[in-house]
Amino acid sequence: MLLGSHEVDLFEDARARLEAIAYRLLGSANDAEDAVQDTFLRWQAADREQVRTPEAWLTRVLTNLCLNHLTSARARRETYVGQWLPEPVLTGDRMLGPADTLEQRESVSMAVLMLLERLSPHERAVYVLREAFGYSHAEIAEIVNLSEPNCQQIYRRAKQHLSTGHSRTEVDRATAHRIAAEFLAATAGGEIEPLVGLLTADATGIADGGGVLPARRTPIGGALAVARYLRGLFRPSEHKRGWVGGSPALYAGVVNGDPAILAQVDGRLVGVIMLEQTPDGITAVHIHANPGKLDRLSRAWATAEHDEPLLEAW
């Protein structure tokens, strides 16, 4: 059934919200775009005269597509090379969705996106729809085809699973620049103690190269172990420059609401290091080097306003 301009406009008005829901559910901007496109095809084929509330219909279709995708994604990630991290997205990108409340901003932090991986698909959907988008339990029950009391119970259970014991520090661009500059100076400096001092005692490090670029395949735990790994990673060599196709310039930025160091070669991003900052220090370092997860971020970064590089030629 062909879409009229009104039906197309209805979908386009909902697209940004649908993308934001799908990104939180899937942890991948690429997969989120695919899910939204599949939703559009369902909208195109639907008997739209029977659709009373297009927004609710589109949300239900999208969510169920994402639930199906999450079930198959678990099997695919069992064969993923090394550690899997959610796809990083530049703060300000519409894919991150609403950011009016603390809960909405935290729901797209790398820490929460990783914790969401521990939830079942239905737990993840109920939590995201409730916490980030403010749907009522009655609305969520209709979307995911569960009872309202069941949704309430699932939401309480999901909140318990997502408790970290850490309080993230919200950052603006200037704060992120300061944190990234301190981190880079400590990492590239002559002594390891300043870097250890920036990390919490229980700091963790995770690197995702996707089997495309070399990356440690197991998580690192403890400030000293993380600091030693980072010192080795930041030691320049021709071999490392060969991996990324040149000598990267290192910039400070804000990615998923966290301070980040972005490595750029010839106008494209080749790596991102995200720092989970708490009042006690940096509690997690997430290293993204899988090129397949950097396309959207690289395009956004190319048109974004940013400061001069912290380091011109690594």
Instruction: Transcribe 218-241 into DSSP letters.
Output: S-EESHHHHHHHHHHHTS--HHHH
Give the list of residues 6+ apart from residue 68 with CB closer than 8 angstroms, or none. Answer: none
- In terms of Cβ atoms closer than 10 Å to its own Cβ (0-12, 13-18, 19+), residue 180 is buried
pLDDT tens column, 39-86:
999 998 888 778 888 899 999 999 999 999 998 877 677 778 889 999
pLDDT in tens, 101-131: 888 888 899 999 999 998 999 999 999 999 9
Pick 256 or 80 by higher pLDDT.
256
Strand partners, 220: 205
Whole-angstrom distance, CA of residue 66 vs CA of residue 38: 10
Tell me, yes or no, if the pTM score tops 0.95: no
| CB distance 132 to 112 below 8 Å | no
Residue 165 pLDDT > 70: no
User: Angle at Cα 22 formed by Cα 19 and Cα 25, nearest 5°?
Assistant: 150
